[in-house]
Amino acid sequence: MRLSPNPVLSGVAWLYTWFFRAVPRLVLAILFGNMGILYAHYRIGGVPFAGQLGDLMGVDMDATLFTVDARTLLTGFMAGLLALSLSEAAYMHVPDADHAADRPPAGDACDHPADRQ
């Protein structure tokens, strides 16, 4: 994604790589492990800001398709797996290897002084 000509996609890839390389893995594990404390329920689907729009119009409106308890979805194992996977994916990108095939090798067989006549 970093090699994309699209500047938005390239910028998002750079930000992802920078963030997950900069934050230590233990901090990521603690952050993802405590997501159940920050968000007790994940509401999926429906109209964005339906509760606020309903309050504004004086109507009780709940447009959520379904709700998932955060502690059942994001267990300790899944939080650790997610944290380590996202961190390791940021390290998969090797900046120098992207264009390595375009450059000639550093030491050619003909460059050795003993081969010159």
Q: What is the pLDDT of residue 111?
A: 57
Q: What is the pLDDT of residue 34?
A: 87
From residue 65, how far is each of 5, 28, 62, 111 by CA, in Å? 37, 30, 9, 68
Check residue 115 and give its pLDDT: 55
Which residues in the chain land under pLDDT 70? 1-2, 93-117
- What is the structure's pLDDT at 27? 93
Residue 42: its H or E element: strand 41-44
Domain boundaries, the chain: 7-94
pTM metric for this prediction: 0.59
Cα–Cα distance for residue pair 106/97, rounded to 1 Å: 14
pLDDT (0 to 100) of residue 37: 80
Q: Quick check: 89 and 81 in contact, CB under 8 A?
A: no
Helix, strand, coil percentages (3-state) for the chain, rounded to 5, are 60, 5, 35
